[in-house]
Amino acid sequence: MAMDNPFEGKEIWFGVGSQDLYGEEALRQVAQQSTEIVDALNASGRIPVKLVLKPTLKSSDGVRRFMVDASADDNCIGVITWMHTFSPAKMWIRGLEALKKPLLQLNTQHHFEIPWNTIDMDFMNLNQAAHGDREYGYIVTRLGIPRKIVVGHYTDPAVADKIGVWARACAGWQASNTMNVMRWGDNMRNVAVTEGDKTEAERVFGASINTWAVNELVAAYNAVKEDQVKDLIEDYKAKYEIAPELLDKDYDSLFIAAREECAMVNMMRANNCTAGVDNFEDLGALPQLPGVGPQRFPSEYGWGFSAEGDWKTAVLVRIGAVMGYGLDGGASLMEDYSYNFTPGNEMIMGSHMLEVSPSVGTIAKPRLEIHPLGIGGKADPVRLVFTVAPKQDAVVVSLADVRTRFRMLMNVVDVVEPLGSLDKLPCARALWKPEPNLEVSAECWLRAGGSHHTCMTTSVGREAWEDFARIAGVELATIDAETTPREFERELEIEDMYHELSNRH
Cβ of residue 354: shortest distance to Mn ion, in angstroms? 10
Output 27 or 193, the one with its CB closest to Mn ion: 193
Whole-Å CA distances, 447 to 210, 333, 340, 489: 31, 22, 21, 7
CB 305 within 8 A of CB 355: yes
CB 115 within 8 A of CB 209: no
Please give the backbone phi and psi of residue 266, each rounded to the nearest 5 degrees, phi first.
-60, -40
Q: How far apart are CA 298 and CA 320, in angstroms?
A: 9
Cβ of residue 453: shortest distance to Mn ion, in angstroms? 6
What pairs with residue 477 in β-bridges?
A: 409
Q: For the residues of 238-286, what is the DSSP string, one character each?
A: HHSEE-GGGGTTTHHHHHHHHHHHHHHHHHHHHTT-SEEE--TT--TT-
Angle at 392 between CA 390 and CA 205, to 5 degrees: 105
Output 334 or 368, the one with its CB closest to Mn ion: 334
Within 8 A by CB and 6+ apart from 370, the residues are 243, 245, 246, 250, 253, 254, 380, 381, 382, 383
The closest of 210, 193, 173 to 398, measured between CA atoms, is 193
Output 13 or 297, the one with its CB closest to Mn ion: 297
Cβ of residue 277: shortest distance to Mn ion, in angstroms? 11
Cβ of residue 434: shortest distance to Mn ion, in angstroms? 19
Cβ of residue 183: shortest distance to Mn ion, in angstroms? 15
Output 6 or 309, the one with its CB closest to Mn ion: 309
User: Residue 253: what residue type?
Assistant: S
Q: Which stretch binds Mn ion (CB under 5 A): 12-20, 84-92, 306-314, 363-371?
A: 306-314
Whole-Å CA distances, 406 to 117, 454, 457, 464, 500: 55, 14, 20, 18, 12
The CA-to-CA distance between both ends of the chain, in Å, stands at 45
Cβ of residue 332: shortest distance to Mn ion, in angstroms? 13
Q: How far apart are CA 108 and CA 83, in angstroms?
A: 9
Tell how many helices (H) and how many strands (E) occur in the chain: 15, 19
Output 10 or 352, the one with its CB closest to Mn ion: 352
Cβ of residue 336: shortest distance to Mn ion, in angstroms? 10
Output 167 or 307, the one with its CB closest to Mn ion: 307
Output 306 or 483, the one with its CB closest to Mn ion: 306
Cβ of residue 382: shortest distance to Mn ion, in angstroms? 19
Output 278 or 335, the one with its CB closest to Mn ion: 335
Output 308 or 463, the one with its CB closest to Mn ion: 308
Within 8 A by CB and 6+ apart from 421, the residues are none
Show the site string, 318-337: x = touches Mn ion by CB under 5 A, - = not: -----------------x--
Show the site string, 284-303: x = touches Mn ion by CB under 5 A, - = not: --------------------
Phi-psi region of 196 (alpha: psi -120 to 50; beta: other; left: phi over 0): left
Which helix (DSSP H) or strand (DSSP E) does residue 230 occupy? Answer: helix 226-239
Size of the site for Mn ion (CB under 5 A): 2
Output 77 or 385, the one with its CB closest to Mn ion: 385
Cβ of residue 188: shortest distance to Mn ion, in angstroms? 8
As a three-state string, the secondary structure of 90-127 is HHHHHHHHHCCCCEEEEECCCCCCCCCCCCCHHHHHHC
Cβ of residue 442: shortest distance to Mn ion, in angstroms? 18
Cβ of residue 286: shortest distance to Mn ion, in angstroms? 18
Cβ of residue 334: shortest distance to Mn ion, in angstroms? 10
Output 261 or 308, the one with its CB closest to Mn ion: 308
Kindly identify the residues of this chain, within the stretch 334-373, that bind Mn ion according to CB under 5 A.
335
Q: How far apart are CA 387 and CA 347, in angstroms?
A: 15
Cβ of residue 27: shortest distance to Mn ion, in angstroms? 59
Q: How far apart are CA 328 and CA 360, in angstroms?
A: 8
C-alpha 394, offset from chain centre: 13
Kindly identify the residues of this chain, within the stretch 392-451, that bind Mn ion according to CB under 5 A.
none
Q: How far apart are CA 237 and CA 206, in angstroms?
A: 38
Output 277 or 412, the one with its CB closest to Mn ion: 277
Output 65 or 371, the one with its CB closest to Mn ion: 371
Applying CB under 5 A, the residues found at the interface with Mn ion are 308, 335
